[in-house]
Structure 1
Amino acid sequence: MLTEFIQRQIKKARYKVLKDGSYFASIPGIKGVWANSKTKRACEKELGEVFEEWALLKVRNHERIPGLVINFDRREMLRHA
């Protein structure tokens, strides 16, 4: 579920070629998630990794992720612990 969500968000990424020829990418509506690399492919890969780490921190901290609904039912989590 989270992997598919990340892939959908990466498809929304906006890329810019900077003056030095490197690529800069960000995802609209997701503050603090960006990447910069020498090639577009490397930039996309880095953006995916940054977004995944950002999303996992949000999940760990029970924080809202724009565009994703997660039900944190602690009773259910305790049953599986």
Structure 2
Amino acid sequence: MTTKFILSDYVDRGMAQAAYDKLEDLTFAGRIPACKGVIAFGETLRACEDELRSTLEDWIVVGLKLGHPLPILDGI
């Protein structure tokens, strides 16, 4: 039996909405438009994606701790 966690699903849905840009210095910037302020940078696209996931997770935890409403992402 596979255990599913709503927080993991929320993070996955957020990451599915991520937008990435290649910068002039050949590094990458990533953001999740629905999650205000969630942005990350990395030397490679993979590093940027990893940093963006970590930033999103931290953003969710702080938002929940402070009682901020989180945006609905694909029904979650």
Q: State the TM-score, normalized to the length of structure 1.
A: 0.80
Identity of aligned residues (%): 33
Runs of 4+ in 1 over 6 A off after TM superposition: none
For 1:64, the equivalent position in structure 2 comes to: 69
For 1:7, the equivalent position in structure 2 comes to: 12
The alignment's C-alpha RMSD in Å is 1.7
Would you say how many aligned residue pairs link Structure 1 and Structure 2? 70
1:19 and 2:30 are equivalent in the alignment: no
Higher RCO (C-alpha 8 Å, min separation 6): 2
Structure ID, larger Rg:
1
1:37-76 mapped onto 2 (5 Å cutoff): 37-67=42-72
1:23-65 CA-to-partner distances (Å, cap 9, x unmatched) read 1000012111101101111100000000100000111111100
Question: Please, which runs of 5 or more residues in structure 1 have no aligned partner?
Answer: 70-81
Task: Look up the equivalent residue of 1:15 and give its one-letter code.
Answer: Y
